[in-house]
Amino acid sequence: MMGKRKGFTLVELLVVIGVITILVGMLIPRVEKAKESARRTSNLSSLRAIAMAYQNYSADDVDGRSIDLSDGNRKGVEWALILARGGYLNDPHMYCFAGDSGASKIVKNTIVDGTLNDNDAWGGGECEFSVYVVSGIPADAPSSTTPIAFTRGIPSAANDLRNSGDGTKVAKWPEDGVYGSRGGQIVYLDNHVKWYDDLGGTGEAGKLVAWNGDPTNDIAKTIPSSAYILNAKGDVTIPGTGNTDEGE
């Protein structure tokens, strides 16, 4: 009578390892997708907090007001500090999203007692945000189509379109954006946030609404020529190109 077999044969062990490998391969994309979804939700909340703070800032003036910076102060940090000093939004984490390697590493504490300088949690010349903000928006701007902030990076405009999955050419977010070229989020004056894989093609294929009401894929055309899109440091200040006479 044969003795009782102990353990696995080499073949059985290889089969088990193969099955585990397949299961792990199936699980990892789902985990990554869940993490990305959670990250987008968290970032959406931060964008809404920024828009809400701006709404409250604007509403605290009888005629409405906007953050309109002078030439020397056209920086996203200065824009954010106006809201912070007024007590509307004084948490720098709202501007630097978790998991964004491009945002400043020195943003680590909330502001206390309104004491703000280049050495505090907002940082100095090396600070970068996960968002770009818009200054100089007039009080009567259309609230549902005018951006006040969006995830970092200017999607490629009409002269720099990139191939999409179906072969058409669209304005895509840059690779150094918060989500890379996979897309980005825009929060509008009315506090609604929308995810865009891309901003569409030229003309009627644009997914945004220009200042004159026409479709556009150029985010600079959604704001008037008096407004500016700012990054944290102000190294890149992009004036709006929209006006009442100009289409795409």
CB 198 within 8 A of CB 168: no
Q: Would 7 be classed as within a structural domain?
A: no
Sheet holding 228-230, edge to edge: 193-196, 184-188, 147-151, 131-135, 228-230, 237-239
- 206, with CB counted inside 10 A (0-12, 13-18, 19+), is buried
Q: Would 140 be classed as within a structural domain?
A: yes
pLDDT at residue number 211: 93
What CA–CA distance (Å, rounded) separates 170 from 187?
21
What CA–CA distance (Å, rounded) separates 66 from 55?
9
CA 130 to chain centre: 6
Residue 206 identity (one-letter amino acid) = G
CA 6 to chain centre: 58
Whole-angstrom Cα Rg for the chain: 23
Q: Would 244 be classed as within a structural domain?
A: no
When mean pLDDT is compared across 25-29, 38-42, 49-53, 220-224, the lowest value belongs to 25-29
Instruction: Name which residue leads in pLDDT, 165 or 224.
Output: 224
Q: Would 30 be classed as within a structural domain?
A: yes
Residue 187 identity (one-letter amino acid) = V
| Residue that the structure tokens 């000093």 belong to | 85
Please give the structure tokens belonging to residue 46: 């931060």
pLDDT at residue number 7: 63
**Average confidence score pLDDT of the chain:** 81
For 165-196, how does the pLDDT look when each residue is reduced to its tens digit (9 = 90+)? 666 789 999 888 899 888 999 999 999 999 99
Q: Would 187 be classed as within a structural domain?
A: yes
Instruction: Name which residue leads in pLDDT, 203 or 165.
Output: 203
Residue 153 identity (one-letter amino acid) = G
Phi, psi (5° rounding) for residue 162? -120, 155
Instruction: Name which residue leads in pLDDT, 107 or 19.
Output: 19
Q: Would 154 be classed as within a structural domain?
A: yes
Note the pTM of the prediction, 2 decimals.
Answer: 0.79
Q: Would 110 be classed as within a structural domain?
A: yes
Nearest to 187, CA basis, from 120, 116, 137, 248: 137
CA distances from 247 to 134, 204, 211, 214, 217 (A): 20, 11, 8, 6, 11
What CA–CA distance (Å, rounded) separates 86 from 84?
5
Host domain of residue 24? 12-239
Q: What total of structural domains would you count in the chain?
A: 1
Q: Would 248 be classed as within a structural domain?
A: no
